[in-house]
Chain A
Amino acid sequence: KAGVTQTPRYLIKTRGQQVTLSCSPISGHRSVSWYQQTPGQGLQFLFEYFSETQRNKGNFPGRFSGRQFSNSRSEMNVSTLELGDSALYLCASSSGGPEDTQYFGPGTRLTVL
């Protein structure tokens, strides 16, 4: 099976712009979770989607949003970018049960100038 894929791998934006990141889960997986990784804050949970519904949400401002499509692919959107949004954004997929292991993608490195 192909692993979790994320596009694009690298992105450079300027403050105030918006950005959309994409994540394709492992075939058959219905849950996609998003994480932000920064040197200062470490890995922080953003949100999880399961069967096109947001099932859980971390403590991030409303500028961070996401969605999931019927094929389980997920997108994450960040509006009005701030310098502090520079980070590695990771997505992880699983079958969807709480006991299921999450498999991570390679991440999208976002730099905000």
Chain B
Amino acid sequence: AQTVTQSQPEMSVQEAETVTLSCTYDTSENNYYLFWYKQPPSRQMILVIRQEAYKQQNATENRFSVNFQKAAKSFSLKISDSQLGDTAMYFCAFMKLVPSDMRFGAGTRLTVKP
């Protein structure tokens, strides 16, 4: 069974600074997808970034980038130039291809301070 571990229940960062959220996973699969989702307070979950396991290049989306280490089964999220609107719960998720159910980590609550 696949498991996803986020070891940082809570983190905080000053506005405009950089923060890295950690995620590790356990799987015997070779092909899979990894995601970071963001869930702002009382708002719906939105996709931040995704990474295909077969791609060696780390995914980036504007201020968000990942450090994907397949051998170490590590998938961290870096947020640069943090903004107040980045305050949210961040979930790391793993999805194998068949059957394609998604497994989530426990989440990291990120607070961006002014």
Contacts of B33 in A (CB 8 A): 98-99
Least CB distance, A56 to chain B, in whole angstroms: 4
**A107 with B44, Cβ < 8 A, contacts A48-B101, A98-B100 known:** yes
B99 & A105 in contact (Cβ 8 Å cutoff): no
Contacts of B43 in A (CB 8 A): 106
The answer to whether the Cβ of B52 comes within 8 Å of any Cβ in the partner chain is yes
Partner of B102, one of A33, A103, A105: A33
The answer to whether the Cβ of A81 comes within 8 Å of any Cβ in the partner chain is no
| Mask: chain A, 101-113; 1 = CB below 8 Å from B; 0 = not | 1111111000000
Bound-state CA distance A104–B98 (Å) is: 20
Q: How large, as a class, is the contact surface on chain B? A: 20 to 34
Least CB distance, B105 to chain A, in whole angstroms: 8
Partner of A101, one of B47, B101, B106, B107: B47
| Mask: chain B, 82-104; 1 = CB below 8 Å from A; 0 = not | 00000000010001111111111
Bound-state CA distance A103–B43 (Å) is: 13
Interface size of A by CB at 8 A reads: 21
Contacts of B99 in A (CB 8 A): 48, 55-56
| Mask: chain A, 44-76; 1 = CB below 8 Å from B; 0 = not | 110010000001101000000000000000000
Partner of A104, one of B44, B105, B107: B44
Measured CB to CB, the residues of B under 8 A from A are 33, 35, 37, 43-47, 50, 52, 91, 95-107
Additional pairs, 12, CB under 8 Å, beyond known A56-B99, A90-B45:
A35-B104, A42-B104, A42-B105, A42-B106, A42-B107, A43-B91, A43-B104, A48-B100, A55-B100, A98-B33, A98-B100, A102-B47
Q: Could you list 30 A-B pairs, sorted by A, with CB under 8 Å?
A: A35-B102, A35-B104, A42-B107, A43-B91, A43-B104, A44-B104, A45-B101, A45-B102, A48-B100, A48-B101, A56-B99, A56-B100, A58-B101, A90-B44, A90-B45, A92-B102, A98-B33, A98-B96, A98-B97, A99-B33, A99-B52, A99-B97, A102-B47, A103-B47, A104-B37, A104-B44, A104-B45, A104-B46, A106-B44, A107-B44
